[in-house]
Structure 1
């Protein structure tokens, strides 16, 4: 059985992946600098961040880092969506409601099935030997996921799945940060976001102070700073300004 261990070197490289200096990505669906660092941690021939509306059978956005020659054209989209809904290898989040667990092709298909069955047809047509998927929270019918592909060599390992599972919350936050910046919302610290989420849940300053183990005056000061950054002057306006975007990724 494969030993699932995370080394100090792994941790350093994971920190490099989520380094705030990589969180640029203006005009990109996902920061390409993050994708490059992720490829250094987990080698892949193609890493794609994909946004789609599966029930409408359309792609909404794509950011791809690849060393693989261009594959199939748009005429094959109908085949893709047929296979998407026919087999759980693609439509797992929609079938299970699980938008958190990292999954691999091998969870559902053996190598023999991948080579011979209809379920593996799309991978064969694109020269894919192994695939691993990182789901992001769904929003308004949009499916967001990060896909890593290998065309040669060994398949993705359980250890690599573990690394991606550990990275997933940080990758989700990177996407959320990109959405906030697209909407022109100034950056808030993680503590400010934590406090603002409690405000959105209807907690009073006194309740928030107890939850965060701080003085009530500290809560008021945080709120003042949040109002200033968001350009608002009330709790209601702060929540209305921040959370439609913050919850969309």
Structure 2
């Protein structure tokens, strides 16, 4: 059983129903891909998985057809029924732009047939990837499909990926102006780059990083000093954290922690 990462809500509950495994990409795909993820499930009754998504685009090999998922700026919910599996390719933030052929903000909150980006052979690749349940073999098959379809890396995409990594590693950064200063660019430039490459605004990325940290603390099972955490994450006060968390997750953090 793989460890659920940041953003997966109710991980202990999901672990009873879902098997998650990850594996890294090969060297040639590292400028584009963060990792592969393989989810298998078997449920007696329909179950909704819930995820506070990251600022990444995903290619998902699944039935009935493979899809590209833009950054989901709301709560991502997927209903699982019976048994099944999917293989996902998580692209580094900003690094799907050379494949998108247009500003990534145009993909936000959307799902698109993967053939639009990778060509008609995508359907055959989907059947081959899903023809096994071995994670490493699935990832190898996906990688063999992607390698000849990779564009020339865009240096700006790599720079934006590093920007996102820095911001998500510092969830106490609260304002776009602070982020711009940290990254040595203007606020306007930061907003333009994120619309073009990431598919979400800098404000959204900063807010999501704080919510990931709050949910991670709650999932540890130990008591959380919410007032202290709100201060640590740069919120005005505890009430601000509670409102933000409730709006995103659907319930207050203390109730979620229980």
Which is richer in helix?
A: 1
User: Fold conserved (TM > 0.5)?
Assistant: no
TM-score (normalised: structure 1): 0.25
* Structure in which a larger fraction of residues adopt strand: 2
